[in-house]
Structure 1
Amino acid sequence: MQIPENKYEVVIIGGGPIGIACALEAEKKGISYVILEKGCLVNSLYHYPTNMTFFSTSEKLELDNIPFISNNPKPGKREALEYYRRIATSNDINIHLFEKVNSVETLPDQSHIVKTTKAEYSAENVVVATGFYDIPNYLGIPGEDLPKVSHYYGDPHYYATQKTVVVGASNSAVDAALEIYRKGGDVTMVVRNAEIGERVKYWVRPDIVNRINEGSIKAYFDSNLKEIKQNEIIINTAEGEKNIENDFVLLLTGYRPNFGFLQDMGIELTNDGRKIPKYDEETMETNVPGIFLAGVICGGVETHKWFIENSRVHAKMIMNYLSTRKKSVINN
C-alpha cells in the first residue's frame, strides 16, 4: 500500500469545540496535527436553532483558559460562533473544512490511513470528536419523509400563523414550542411521557408548563405520533386516536452518533442498548490502538452525559498521553 504524503502524528476528526480543544493541546505539546471537518467550523453548533441559549455559563464553554465574554451569563449561539471562530483564526488552527472523512484504516504497524472526500492522510493516531448532531432518531412512521416534516429547528418566523406540531419534550423541543408560539404559531406538542422532562433548562421549564396549563400551547402527554399526512396528523393518545389539522411537523426526538462509522474502524460498542464505545477512561484510547475518542461521542446513545464543559478535559488527557508516549519512545 502506498502511504499518503500527508503525514501527521494526529488526525482529529471533527472541527467542533472539542476538536479545536484537541488541536490547541497538540500545539502545546509539539504534536503535528490536522483537523478534518465535513462542514463549516463548529458545524453542529452552526446548525443549532437561531435563538438557542446554552445551558452552561460562558466560562464553562471556554477552551484553554481563553476568556469567553458574553452579554449574558448564558451565551447564545451567535456569541459561541464568534468565540470559537476567533480561537481558530487567532491560533491559526490547522483545519480543513468541508472535507468529510469516509474511512479510517488501521495498518499492521498500527498506523492509520484516513481517506476523505478530498485526500488521504497517514496518521500515527486518530482522535474522533464528531459529536452526535448529524443523525436524527427517526420514528419510522408513515409520512415522516413528507416535505413539511423536519428533524431540525431553525428560526420561529418560518412557522408564524401555521399549525405546527412539535414532537418531543427535550430542551430543543421546548425552546421551539415556546418560540413558535410567541411568533404567532399555533403549537401542539406530542410527548410520550406524562410530563415535560426534568432535564429541560430550569429557567424554561416553568414557562412551558404554564403555557400548557393556560392552553396557549396544546399538549398531548403519554402520546405518540402514529402517522403524518399532507394536511393532518394522527396521534395515539390514552383516550384513543386523534386526528389534528396540521401544516408542519418538527420531530425533535433527539440525535445519535454515527455508530456505523465507529464500528467500521473496529471500535467495540456495548450490546446493552446504550452503544457506549469501548475506551480507556484515563487515556481515551479505544480498543483499537492509536484511535481515541473525545467529547459527546463517548456516551453512545446517552448523549446527555457529555457536553462541552465536562469533556474539554479529554483533549488534555489524550495529548498528555501521546506526549508522554512520544518522549518514552525517543528516550528508548
Structure 2
Amino acid sequence: MNAAFDVLIVGGGPIGLACALEAKRAGLSYVIIEKGCVVNSLYNYPLYMTFFSTSERLEIGNVPFVSINPKPTRPEALEYYRRVAISHELNVKLFEEVTQVTPNAGEYTVTTTKGLYHARHVVIATGFYDIPNLLQIPGENLPKVTHYYKDPHFYATQDVVVIGAHNSAVDAALETYRKGARVTMVIRQADIGSRVKYWVKPDIENRIKEGSVKAWFNSSLTAIREREVDIDTPNGAITIANDFVIAMTGYQPNFSLLEKAGIALSDDNLRLPAYNPITMETNMPRIYLAGVVCGGMNTHVWFIENSRDHAEKIIGHIKNNA
C-alpha cells in the first residue's frame, strides 16, 4: 500500500501532465496513474495525423513546443510531451489502470490493477479515447472491423468501408485511397462534417465528386460479413464487396469509473458530469475533473488548448483550501 499523496491524477495525457506540473510547482506530493504509455491516447492516433491546432496552443506548463510546421504532427507531439514528463521528472506510474476511487476517512483510496493508493485529492483526466461507440450491428465483432485507424499501408488493394464524416474518418478514407484501397464511405448525415480540417475538407469532397472515393450519404451500415457488408441507403438496401471496415464512430469517456467514484451524471444522452467550472471540483468533495472528460458524450467541446487552464484552476483551489 502506497503512502498518501496530496494529489492523485488519473490519466497521463497532456492535461494530466499539466496537472502534475502545477502540483509539483505548488510543492504538493502527487502521482499520475496511467493505464498505458505516456500520452497513451496520442500514441494511438493515426501515424500521420496532423493537429488542427498550432504548437503553442498545445503547450503545457509554460514549456515551449517547437514544431517544424505551423501545425504539429503526432510524432512531434509525442516527442514534446514525453520530453516534458522526463525532463521534469514527473512521478508517473505507467501501464497501471485505476479501477475504483473510494472515500475513506477524509481521503480517497484508489484501487489499481497493481495496488492501492491513498490521496487527499483526486483529479480524473482520463479523456475519451478508450471506449469506442459501437455500431450495434451483426458482424461488428469480426476481426476485419476496427474502431482505431493507424496506418494506411495495411489496406492497400483492399475493399475498405469507412464509417463516419469527421476528421478521423476523412483522414482514413483519403490515406487508404492514396495507398491503393478501394474506399467506400458510409455517412449518416447529408454532408461531410463541418468540423473537418479546412485544408482537408476540399480534398475529400473533390475525391467523392470525381468518384475516386465512393460515398453513401444519409446511409448506415446494417450488417458485416467476412467478404461483404450491407448498407441501408436512400435508394434502398445494397450489398457490396468488403475486406475491412474502419468504423470512425467516435468514443466516450469511462463513465463507469466516474459513477463508481460517486460523480453525478446528467440524465440525458450527453451524460454530463457534475462539476464546478470555476474550481473543476465535482459533487464529490476533493474529486476534480480535467480535460475532455468534462464534456461527457459531447466530446467536441474540450480540447488540449482550451482545457490546459483546468490544471491551474484545480491546483489553485487545492492550495487555497489547504
1:221-276 deviation line (CA, Å, top 9, x unaligned)? 00000000110000000110000000000011000001111001100001121101
TM superposition shift of 1:63: 0.7
Partner of 1:329: none
* Corresponding residue number in structure 1 for 2:267: 271
User: Match of 1:43, as an amino acid?
Assistant: N
> Does the Cα contact within 8 Å between 1:6 and 1:120 map onto a contact in 2?
no
Distance 1:173 1:59 in 2: 26
Partner of 1:6: 3
Query: Within the alignment, does 1:49 sit opposite 2:46 as a pair?
Result: yes
2:62 aligns with: 65
Question: Secondary structure at 1:102's aligned position in 2?
Answer: strand
SS of the residue corresponding to residue 223 of structure 2 reads strand
Moved over 3 A (4+): none
| Counterpart residue identity of residue 217, structure 1 | V
Q: Is the 8 A contact 1:166 1:187 kept in 2?
A: yes
1:65 & 1:204 partners in 2: Cα distance? 30
Does residue 182 of the first structure (1) align with residue 178 of the second (2)?
yes
Residue 229 of structure 2 aligns with which residue? 233
Counterparts of 1:292 and 1:134 in 2: how far apart (Å)? 20
Shift of 1:50: 0.4
Q: Which of 199, 205, 208 is the matching residue for 2:201? A: 205
For residues 323 and 228 of structure 1, what CA distance do their matches in structure 2 show? 54
* Maintained 8 Å contact 1:234/1:242: yes
> Aligned to 1:304, what secondary structure does the other structure show?
coil
Which position in structure 1 is the counterpart of 2:305? 309
Note closer, same or farther for the CA distance 1:204–1:21 as it changes in structure 2 (3 Å cut).
same
**Partners of 2:6 and 2:225 in 1: CA distance:** 52
Q: Match for 1:162 among 144, 158, 164?
A: 158
Aligned position for 1:20: 17
When normalised by structure 1's length, the TM-score is 0.96
Measured in 2, the distance between the counterparts of 1:44 and 1:197 equals: 22
Q: TM-score, normalised by structure 2?
A: 0.99
Counterpart in the other structure of 1:103: 100
Shift of 1:5: 3.9
Unaligned runs of 5+ in 2: none
Decide whether the 8 Å contact of 1:110 with 1:290 is kept in 2.
no
Which of 242, 246, 249 is residue 242 of structure 2 equivalent to?
246
Which amino acid letter does the alignment assign opposite residue 175 of structure 1? D
The root-mean-square deviation of aligned C-alpha atoms, in Å, is: 0.7
Which secondary structure state, in structure 2, belongs to the residue aligned with residue 289 of structure 1?
coil
Equivalent residue letter for 1:130: T
Task: Report whether the alignment pairs 1:88 with 2:75.
Answer: no
Distance in 1, matches of 2:23 and 2:211, equals 53
1:15-35 alpha-carbon deviations (Å, 9 max, x no partner): 000000000000111111000
Contact kept, 8 Å, 1:270 with 1:277, in 2: the verdict is yes
Does 1:130 pair with 2:130? no
Q: Deviations over 1:73-128 (max 9, x none)?
A: 00000000000000000000000001111111012x33100011111111000000
In structure 1, stretches of 5+ residues that fail to align are 327-332
Other-structure match for 2:253: 257
Task: Give the superposition deviation at 1:6.
Answer: 2.1
Task: Give the corresponding residue for 2:286.
Answer: 290
SS at match of 2:288: strand
Residues 5/86 of structure 1: CA separation in 2 closer, same or farther (3 Å cut): closer
Letter in 2 for 1:86: R
Give me the whole-angstrom Cα distance separating, in 1, the residues matched to 2:106 and 2:3.
17
SS at match of 1:201: coil
Whether 2:212 is the aligned partner of 1:216: answer yes
Rounded to whole Å, the distance in 1 between the matches of 2:98 and 2:277 is 25
Alignment partner of 1:115: what SS?
strand
The equivalent position to 1:145 in structure 2, one of 141, 151, 168, is 141
Structure 2 counterpart of 1:304, one-letter code: H
Structure 1 contact 128–294 (Cα < 8 Å) conserved? yes
**C-alpha distance in 2 between matches for 1:21 and 1:5:** 23
Tell me the percent identity.
60
Partners of 2:268 and 2:37 lie apart in 1 by 34
